[in-house]
Amino acid sequence: MMADAAHLAFADNTFDAVRTDRVLQHTKDIFAVVKEMARVTRPGGRIVVFEPDWETFVLWPGERGVTRKILNFWCDHIPNGWAGRSVPAACADAGLCDIKITPRCLVITDLALAKRVFDLDTTLSLAVQAGILNAREAECRAKELDKAAAAGQFFSSLTFYFVTGTKRE
């Protein structure tokens, strides 16, 4: 069933637990969605959220200025690139208690895998199309990544936040 996450078609206090995994990054209003999650959760029930914070996305190597342009473009290209850091406040705003926050860092040192997981080639292409990078910068960046991978020096990481809370009795 598809639904608007901020307007679920369920009665109040329907579920013992409600969970979302990497969905809130695609919404504009995380606070409204978490409030809706709380509405459909019974008192004493749990809410579980797992979201990345794209501002924590790291790539190595690369010229610092170009890398910042790429990473900022990527973060800003996602509807809510700061989802991970926003969830704890959204849980508090929804009236949840016993909020726990656990960071999880995904580290990828294999460039081929990182290209698939993070869609790096498309990101470079979109950054050129948007005028964030010129074609030469994108080409140099791709070559730097390939060279680092060949030398066993490529590194990427992204921090996710696992946030849980309980609906008050």
Q: What is the mean pLDDT of residues 102-111?
A: 98
Domain edges within the chain? 16-167
Residues β-bridged to residue 97: 166
Q: Mind giving me the DSSP string for 47-90?
A: EEEEEEEEEEEEEESS-HHHHHHHHHHHHHHSTTTTHHHHHHHH
**Torsion, CA 44, CA 90, CA 98, CA 43, rounded to 10:** -10
What's the mean per-residue pLDDT of the chain?
A: 96
- Topology of domain 16-167, CATH: Rossmann fold (3.40.50)
Q: Where are the alpha helices (DSSP H) in the chain?
A: 30-40, 64-77, 83-93, 111-118, 120-129, 135-150
pLDDT band with cut points at 50, 70 and 90 for residue 1: low
Tokens of 157: 């990481």
pTM of the model: 0.91
Nearest-angstrom CA–CA distance, 155 and 143: 15
- Please state the rounded mean pLDDT for residues 16-27: 96
135 pLDDT tier (thresholds 50, 70, 90): very high
